[in-house]
Chains A and B, each alone.
Chain A
Amino acid sequence: MTEHEESRVTLSIRNLSKVFRSKHDQVQALNNVSLDIREGELFTLLGPSGCGKTTTLRCVAGFEKPSGGTIDFLGQDFTSIPPFRRNIGMVFQSYALFPHLSIFENVAYGLRIRKLSRREIEDRVNRIIALVGLEATQKRKPSELSGGQQQRIALARALVYDPQLLLLDEPLSNLDAKLRVYMREEIRRIQQQAKVTTIYVTHDQEEALSISDRIAVMHAGKVSQVGSPDEIYENPHSIRVADFIGQANFLTCTVQRDADSVLSFRSGEQIKMINSSDNIRNYREREGILFVRPEQMEISADANHPNSLRGEVKVILYLGSVVRYYVEIFQNQKPQEILVDQDRRVRDVGVGDPVAVLVHGQEAKLFPTEQRKQLEKM
């Protein structure tokens, strides 16, 4: 994890709001969004479609006019500058390469507008095309390139004129799964090399976790949480974030405080949380929702294992790096299915077998019960 505490803030978004009005209704796309983006970092806006991440990006670019709030870039008021004078590089979801221009001319476009000399244009285009590894394509038209190649040219075109800010709008969503993984590493590498402050928009949480310095999780026009990928994954501040990022199990329980916390569930079963997280130790309410990731649980073939939940294996999925067990618990009282990930198959456990599920308290968390409604919304 990179430390950015010392870097200065370059882009500061304050109380940004955006209302889209149509004939029949109006939609509050952004509601008081405030973000600080630091110099040189790759900052990701993550959220489901309609959460406002793209609107935020388009406000920064200047394609949308904010209904309220300010966007400040190094002390300048960005909203009073038209998009073409903001000196931003942008990669669009559809790449938006100019179909009538060659690859060279596509990349050179920004330099020609900046009236660089012919020598310099050639130099810089060659250098950036080499950086994205596509030297041989210069004379071709965009339609003659593959999706991944077009993607890299779009990136080269956005970076060639040294923009102060790079915006990436779901740049990988049109690529197939394998290329997506490769390209996100490429983007990270090129971004680091160019040392350009970057805002990256995606709905893919895995992509966000792997590429970002920091992530803002957005929902319904608001920012739910800002933090490093580790913080977001391991310490979500709300059920909504916990549920959106990765896989998660949520179990309603009552909390008895002893030397250790004891959680009792609707089945009557009780678990004593040994070595539990600060969050659980400091939890003060009687009712709560236990949040635990599938890999923080363990399956035991011994159904009578102490300090565990009893259940029955319903499905076993072999996912390569992990084996995922769908286990039905609380069988006597409104059964619920939970996910348990194990590094390898548990010996002597098959579909239909009774098992015990153990919870590792160090990384589990308790959320107040009123957050339950966030679950249905996701």
Chain B
Amino acid sequence: MVRAIKQRLKTFEFTPYLVLGLALIILVVFIVYPLSKVIFSSFIVKGDAPTLRNLTLDNFAQFSTSTLYRSAFFNTMTVGLSCVLFSCLIGIPMAYFVAKTQTPLKTFFLTLGTLPLILPPFVGAYSWILLFGRQGVVNYFLENAFNFKLPDIYGAPGVIIAITMSTYPFIFLLTYGALISADPYIEESAEIMGASRWRVIRTVTLPLVIPAIVAGALIVFMRSVGNFGVPAILGGNFYVLPTLIHFQVTGFFNLNAAAAIAMVNVVLVAAAILLSQYVTSKRSYVTITSTTQAARISSSKLLKWIGTIFCLGVIFFSLLPHLTVIFTSFTEGWAGTRYPNKFSLQNYSRIFEIALVPIRNSLFLATTATLIASVIGTLLSYINVRKNLRARWILDLTVMLPFILPGIVVGVAILVGFSSGLIILSGTWMIMVVGFFIRRMPYIFRSTTASLSQIDVAVEEASTIIGASWLTTFRKITLPLMAPGILAGAVISFSTLMGELSTTVILYSARWKTISIAIVEYLFSATIGPAYTLGTILIVLVLAAIFLANRILGRRMSQMFKMV
């Protein structure tokens, strides 16, 4: 008996259990633990000991007593629903034009249509005021020339426009993907039965892409109700839940109140997920068979021109804020004067004195978090795909949670989780890395899961039977084959972390200000020059990372966002 056990121990392979177990432990410590803790603390009033006896709904009662809370809730709903609506109004026609008409410049539209997903929206948000605000250059021109003034953009309209312009690509890209992969014979069969073109679109094409639109709408909703930067800059007195959370954390350091607001924010997201699942399940769609046949393209000249103008317009408006940022960084004293009239590199001459530290911080934090997310995310996706776990969905859900939850909620959870109790990290750079890596691990997890499930298990078995241990097989076979997936996820993770704001704003400390924090601080003090110069540097860094990855991976940017 003892000998048999000894024999077993000698031949048992511990490495996979050790390595993969470690990844699971990290998952529990850095996701499950803080999330449970934040839920618990939302039921405790600030100052009370976190015990079962002190559980109360007082924090939530604020939503019925405080007008600020109530309006923040309804404002958030308004922003979320409006952004979904406008994103659909922009994204669906654009997808149709690019996929189904003879509109030229398709690659151009697809590439530039992806940019708003990577460029942090808060960087460009102030540009809307600069251009269309009461003192804005467009308003000034219109007033002088036509004696006409645009309605005030500050508050709700600005927030909705700015967020929509950064979220419509989700609808656009997902709908586009569904349109080009739909079986063209289905449309042809409708036509052969006598349906007009508009009828085919209404009764066949559109219903086939509805699952994609719903999926896109869900992401748009999650992004817009969780956006902190845009309402912080453009909102003024227009409070939404994320800005209210920020207010509670930085204004009163009331983490319990923040946790409760965060919970309400999460409930909104959860409701949206349930609703979208209900919508897609009610209509039972058969999976669309993708044939090798390419999507059929409308030959209408009229549609071609309408499409071109529409797409150019959308691209122009969605990139306008960031173009304004770059443009403004090369002006001197603009926003003080009516029109930009002096151009120089003055902004850049002094920027490095003030920007070096935030740039260094951002690079360090984004790199560290991306590396950790890559390692852990890859291991977790290996468990997910290769180990036949019964509770696979729990693993999947846990990893994906920080992606689903608003960034500021994740920030609050991490702050609550690690500012007291067993592990204390608050005030250090480590707490920021934790927040960053769990928020970006889903990207790595998804893209490596995709590439791993395309690798034949037999390839790994072949390595094993040849004599390679688990670790050798993982290192020499599995990892190299997963590398493109890891890299793709890592690039998106890194480039979006460079401008990360909503988690950072909760977790940063004076010594660890990032580029995004520096930009926001300059914007709050209306120092446009340095803000936009830093913004330009950020945009350049992000684009450089994406460009490099495109070169290495040889993929189009819109394809890299497939798993989002």
Report which A residues bind B (CB closer than 8 A): 23, 61-63, 80-90, 92-94, 96-100, 109-110, 113-114, 157-158, 161, 167
Contacts and interface: CB of A to CB of B under 8 A. Distances in A.
Nearest to A113: B467
Given A113-B466, A157-B462, 9 more contacts: A80-B11, A84-B468, A84-B469, A85-B11, A89-B466, A96-B462, A98-B462, A109-B476, A110-B467
21 contacts: A61-B465, A63-B461, A82-B11, A83-B461, A83-B465, A84-B464, A84-B468, A84-B469, A84-B470, A85-B467, A87-B467, A89-B466, A90-B461, A96-B461, A97-B462, A99-B481, A100-B480, A109-B468, A110-B466, A113-B467, A161-B467
Contacts of A167: 465
A239 B317 CA distance: 78
- Which secondary structure dominates where chain A touches chain B? loop
Given A82-B13, A92-B458, A98 B463 contact: yes
A96 B468 CA distance: 15
B458 A94 contact: yes
Contacts of B150: none
A89 B11 contact: no
Q: Which of B12, B13, B476 gathers the greatest number of chain A CB atoms within 10 Å? A: B476
B465 A113 contact: no
Interface residues of B, number: 25
Interface string B470-491: 1011001100110000000000
B8 interface: yes
Nearest to A92: B458
A167 B467 CA distance: 14
A80 B7 contact: yes
B480 A80 contact: no
Contacts of B8: 80
Contacts of B468: 84, 109, 113
A87 B476 CA distance: 19
B462 A83 contact: no
Nearest to B13: A82
Contacts of A85: 11, 467
Contacts of A100: 480-481
Interface string B444-467: 000000000000101101111111
B484 to A, nearest CB: 10
Contact of A92 (B462, B470, B477): B462
Contact of A96 (B12, B456, B470): B456
B480 A83 contact: no
Contacts of B461: 61, 63, 83, 90, 92, 96
Contacts of A63: 461, 464
B458 to A, nearest CB: 4
A305 B309 CA distance: 89
Contact of A157 (B13, B466, B470, B477): B466
Given A80-B8, A82-B13, A98 B459 contact: yes
A84 B11 CA distance: 10
Interface in B366-397: 390
A304 to B, nearest CB: 60
A109 B463 contact: yes
Interface in B1-22: 7-8, 11-13
Contacts of A89: 465-466
Q: Which of A82, A86, A87 has the most CB of B within 10 A?
A: A82
Contacts of A114: 467
A120 B206 CA distance: 64
A81 B468 CA distance: 13
A94 B481 CA distance: 17
Nearest to A93: B458
Nearest to B388: A22
B170 to A, nearest CB: 33
A100 B459 CA distance: 11
A27 to B, nearest CB: 15
Contacts of B456: 94, 96
A245 B350 CA distance: 87
B467 A90 contact: no
B477 A90 contact: no
A100 B468 CA distance: 17
Given A84-B469, A85-B11, A113-B472, A90 B480 contact: no
Interface in B470-525: 470, 472-473, 476-477, 480-481
Contacts of A98: 459, 462-463, 477
Nearest to A110: B466
Given A92-B458, A93-B458, A94-B458, A109 B11 contact: no
